[in-house]
């Protein structure tokens, strides 16, 4: 088995694991962090598929911007819960 194939299988497994954990976790903060990790792993997968434009867009928009917005939304929701 070549190193490239082993890395691709490991990446595919990590993508499936992080997607499952993102959907299965009851803690909203942990779910957002796992969503960001999933986006970064997905951008790495796009780079492995020789699509650097999609990889950069996924990293910037999918993991970066969307993750920051979700973390900000969690902060606003937690502030609302406090009396």
Averaged over 2-9, what is the pLDDT?
94
The count of domains in the chain is: 1
pLDDT tens per residue across span 10-60: 999 999 999 999 999 999 999 999 999 999 999 999 999 999 999 999 999
- 59's CB contacts (< 8 A; 6+ apart) are 39, 40, 43
Domain extent at residue 31: 3-81
The residue ranking higher by pLDDT, 34 or 80, is 34
Give me the sign of the Cα torsion angle 15, 17, 22, 27. Answer: negative
Averaged over 66-76, what is the pLDDT?
94
**pTM (2 decimals)?**
0.89
């Amino acid at each position: 088995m070549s190193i490239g194939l082993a890395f691709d299988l490991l990446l595919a497994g990590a993508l499936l694991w992080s997607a499952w954990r993102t959907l299965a976790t009851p803690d909203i903060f942990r779910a957002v962090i796992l969503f960001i990790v999933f986006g970064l792993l997905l951008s790495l997968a796009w780079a492995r598929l020789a699509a650097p434009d999609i990889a950069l867009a996924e990293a910037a928009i999918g993991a970066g911007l969307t993750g920051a917005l979700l973390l900000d939304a969690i902060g606003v929701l937690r502030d609302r819960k406090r009396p």
